Amino acid sequence: MSVLSHLPAGAQSTAERPRDSGGRRMSDESFINLLVASVAIVLFLAASAMVPNFFQFQNMVNLVTNNWAVISLGVGVTFLLVSGNFDLSVGGQVALSGVLAVWFAQSTAGANPLATGLGLPTWLAMACALAGAMAIGGLNALFVVRFRVPSIIVTLGTMMVARGIAKVITEGSQRNTNLPDDFGALGNLAMFGTSIKFPVVLMVVLVLVAVFIERKTVFGRLTYWIGANPVTSRLSGVDNARHLTCLYLFSSAIAGVVGILLASEFKSGFSARGTLMEFDALVIALLGGVAIAGGFGSVIGMFFGALILAVVTSAATGLVLSPDWQFILKAVAVFLAIMTQTWALARRNR
């Protein structure tokens, strides 16, 4: 560019030029990721010392595979949190898309209303169910972006809308009869000749793609900019509205797929499925160092946050604590983890 050609170019004024040597300081995000990963490992080792048979390869795999649904939801929730917005509707969307998929796929000649559906082919039923979940995402975007209602309120509302529709369709319980045989295929598909199922592989791919998007693409940069300061991003030419709409649709697409896969796995559309999943997705993101005010955090951190939660929960089960204690244990873990992060970050940047 011609602008500034009169000013000394960086190459000529080596004295003032910032060095780009190997001693580059780790970013705060990498620091937090490392911290969260370390905490997950330390907790795993501590649990191994206390719980018999905890330290096994299969157990490590289970910690990840048992949580594929929440981790998948966490990806969308993390992107939205980084942009400074909440999505509390993902749990409701899981229920809605599952119920819709089943209802659309059930054959038309059922013995009772709950056994009677629209008789669509499985693939079409699932696609329509996904569209149903994304309609909720569109509703979120409409109210947050267009009418400027705080996202926590909007998604609290759509959370109930989504689950409410699911309840109406299932008459408050579930639909699980009169389904075509291929409906259960996707959710139970074992991959690579192992016991690892398709949804788990999909989650791993999703996390990897999300990390790429977050780190390497303009889309990822836009998410951080909007979260760090929406006024500045607008005045720098960013179309905040369009980007947030994409993020809500992205999040609801994930929730829709998760709901459909769960419905396929259990061959049922259950209106209470995914209850509290929106909070678990939020908790693992926060455990993973995502800032609730936006502009900071990463999918990798969220992933290790999920592992922390998984270790704590399964160790509690292994210690034969009554399930009633698990909530309190989770709460303690969340508080400690978040306080540690705040403290470590403040100390580092002192």
- Residues at the interface with another protein (CB under 8 A): 1-11, 13, 16-20, 24-25, 27-28, 216-221, 224-225, 228-229, 231-239, 295-296, 349
- Tokens 């991959």 found at: 191
Cα pseudo-dihedral 180, 128, 91, 275, rounded to 10: -30
Nearer to another protein, 193 or 350 (CB): 350
Least CB distance from residue 86 to another protein, whole Å?
A: 19
Nearer to another protein, 13 or 56 (CB): 13
- Rounded to whole angstroms, the Cα distance separating 137 from 315 reads 35
* 322 phi and psi angles, rounded to 5 deg: -65, 140
Least CB distance from residue 126 to another protein, whole Å?
A: 28
Nearest to 118 by CA among 132, 130, 102, 133: 102
Cβ-in-10-Å burial (0-12, 13-18, 19+) of 189 comes to middle
Cβ-in-10-Å burial (0-12, 13-18, 19+) of 1 comes to exposed
Nearer to another protein, 18 or 323 (CB): 18
Task: Provide the b/e sequence for 137-174 (b: ≥16 CB within 10 Å).
Answer: bbbbbebbbeeeeebeebbebbbeebbebbbebbeeeb
Least CB distance from residue 57 to another protein, whole Å?
A: 36
Least CB distance from residue 257 to another protein, whole Å?
A: 22
Nearer to another protein, 30 or 173 (CB): 30
- Tokens 């003032």 found at: 16
Least CB distance from residue 282 to another protein, whole Å?
A: 21
Least CB distance from residue 13 to another protein, whole Å?
A: 6
Nearer to another protein, 320 or 347 (CB): 347
Nearer to another protein, 25 or 112 (CB): 25
